Structure 1
């Protein structure tokens, strides 16, 4: 459930930016309440799922997985409005250690608090 809520939060950041595509995951059906958000985020390359073609939305998301999603969103930051950027900045601050482990520079945070090491 936490994974789906985290994905829904990220979906709110990207609402209205994607096109409709075929279902990318075998375990997400059009009848699922989060189907549209998962499909949109997959289309945008924000969520990728697992090598077996599943999304596994019933399990909790890890901090590392969320950091990967945030990193992908940071790469698309120029497509976000001011409110979405503010939310993304908060998420990037919360996951700064994990982002650093991924090698992602969080430039907005670095400007505000100095370089992250």
Structure 2
């Protein structure tokens, strides 16, 4: 759920070009692939809010939640940027926009009543 929220936030901030990138299935497949490539590792980590409250009250250890961590050599910015660039080569190019003149003639052909305006 957090990954999907982050992806949707990135989409609305125009950091992601396609809304399909926010799909849970897409995110899950990407996570699985990055784990298989040994870029990421799944880890159980204590829930932050619960750990502080439990420690203050001297209670049992907090509940664990699933998290992820980068594995070496991808902990450095250079290797991570190189991986992102390598993956980026497989992206589809942005759609080419038609000039305004051809767009208006296409609309007039598709919608004859616009030709009279």
TM-score by length of 1: 0.28
The structure number with the bigger radius of gyration is 2
1 or 2 for the larger relative contact order (CA 8 Å, sep ≥6)? 1
Question: Is the strand fraction higher in 1 or 2?
Answer: 2
